[in-house]
């Protein structure tokens, strides 16, 4: 399979952050999502270059987390299945990662800042 066909050529936003911070924030945002209702997304959004908001809202409740980031490019606002992100993040042995976005409907690429070479692709959910 030629994975290059699904990897976007253009990157609109790059976010650098701590793997552990992101993983823990998504885990907490997932607490209000019933296991049978995994279709409920969490939202990644930033309004400034230093903070990423991770939020989730269901009938059970709402969670809003903020983590420190470094943003290059445009602001991000997209929905994702929390399980897909946690499956990736719990298997990354690197402290710092970069998330690359090609737009609200494009995939999120997850890359290490240094060390191991890997590339994870997480697709967004439609709103």
Q: Kindly give the parts of the chain with pLDDT less than 70.
A: 1, 3, 35-40, 127
Closest CA to 107 of 21, 4, 7, 29: 7
- Residue 6's pLDDT is 76
Q: DSSP code of 125?
A: B
Q: Does residue 28 fall inside a structural domain?
A: yes
The total of structural domains in the chain comes to: 1
For residue 6, is it within any domain? Answer: no
Q: Look at residue 4 and tell me if it is in a domain.
A: no
Residue 8: what pLDDT?
80
Residue 17 lies in a domain: yes
Q: Domain of 30?
A: 11-122
Residue 5 domain-assigned (yes or no): no
For residue 76, is it within any domain? Answer: yes
Q: Is residue 68 situated within a structural domain?
A: yes
CATH for 53: 3.10.150.10
The pTM of the full predicted model, rounded to 2 decimals, is 0.87
Q: How deeply is 121 buried, as exposed, middle or buried, from its count of CB atoms within 10 A (0-12, 13-18, 19+)?
A: middle
In this structure, is residue 45 part of a structural domain? yes
């Amino acid at each position: 399979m030629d994975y290059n066909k699904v990897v976007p050529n253009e990157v609109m936003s790059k976010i650098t952050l701590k793997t552990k911070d992101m993983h823990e924030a998504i885990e907490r945002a997932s607490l209000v999502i019933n296991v049978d209702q995994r279709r409920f997304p969490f939202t990644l959004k930033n309004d400034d270059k230093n903070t990423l908001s991770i939020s989730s809202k269901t009938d059970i409740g709402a969670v809003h987390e903020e983590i420190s980031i470094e943003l290059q490019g445009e602001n991000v606002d997209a929905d994702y299945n929390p399980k897909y992100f946690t499956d990736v993040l719990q298997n990354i042995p690197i402290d710092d990662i970069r998330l690359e976005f090609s737009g609200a409907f494009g995939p999120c690429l997850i890359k290490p800042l240094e060390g191991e070479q890997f590339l994870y692709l997480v697709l967004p959910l439609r709103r």
